[in-house]
Amino acid sequence: MGLQELRFRATHLDAVRAGTKRITMRYNDPVEVGPVTLVFEFDEEVRLPGRIVWTVAKRVDAVTEEEALEDGFAGAHDVIAGLSSYYPDLKPNDELVIVRFELVYPRRMHTALDATDARGLAEFYRDLLGLRFRPGDDDTWIVLLDADGNRQLAIQQVAELKRSTWPSPEVPMQAHLDYAVPSVEELERHRKRAEDLGARVLHDRAADAGEPLYVLADPAGHPFCLLVADL
């Protein structure tokens, strides 16, 4: 079964992306708290990953001024007129569902650097940036945290590494980004979305019970990891 959808007119896209619109009102249109795809009705649909945070049912004439304004209406008095093109028979005593939603994207965990001496490079960045080591890491994968415990850098041990010749193009800059999602279901959702946007899977470790992940290449070939992790 596919994800539930919330459909919007194209004119709402900029406000949703900017975060100024996070409420929508629906009539006879069942929705549930959880993952949702936000669909904007251009000639070629724009589809964004989201989550319904909560829903509340109330009569049209009980919608507050604040709720109406947050949904983009001129005020509570404008709700029926504003929804008339969607629901032409809507009446003041009809029950609406007010839906609060948010966009949900993978979150950057850290930037990962390759090194033939991972511990030495980690010591360099720890001292340079005032970071600290994450407890328990061995010398093959070292995560550096800031004072609040947020990941800032990861250093990965490799057997060989050609030094970058940048700005000369012979050997390019060498690094990759890690992006975290909260569950295996979200991992598959965002992997598919990345592929739809032009990425390709380089390595599939989604079945790893300890740390499910994909390594993908962006359209220019830069690798990045998409994995299940708590931040």
In the predicted structure, residue 183 carries a pLDDT above the cut 80: yes
In the predicted structure, residue 214 carries a pLDDT above the cut 90: yes
- Per the model's pLDDT, the better-predicted residue between 15 and 222 turns out to be 15
**By percentage, how much of the chain surpasses pLDDT 90?**
81
User: The pTM is what?
Assistant: 0.81
For residues 84-112, average pLDDT:
93
d(C-alpha 55, C-alpha 25), whole Å: 10
- Do residues 157 and 116 make contact, with C-beta atoms less than 8 angstroms apart? yes
- 3 state DSSP class of 157: strand
Please report which helix (H) or strand (E) contains residue 126, including its range.
helix 118-129
d(C-alpha 46, C-alpha 218), whole Å: 20
pLDDT at 27: 93
Band (pLDDT 50/70/90 cuts) for residue 222 is: confident
For residues 101-125, average pLDDT:
93
Model confidence over 23-45: pLDDT tens digits?
A: 999 999 899 999 999 999 999 99
pLDDT at 178: 93
Cis peptide before 92 (omega within 30 of 0): no
Band (pLDDT 50/70/90 cuts) for residue 11 is: very high
d(C-alpha 76, C-alpha 193), whole Å: 37
pLDDT at 169: 87
For residues 73-82, average pLDDT:
92
d(C-alpha 166, C-alpha 143), whole Å: 25
Mean pLDDT of the chain: 92
Sign of CA dihedral 223, 226, 230, 231: positive
How long a stretch of residues is the chain? Answer: 231
Model confidence over 135-175: pLDDT tens digits?
A: 999 999 999 999 999 999 999 999 998 888 878 889 887 78
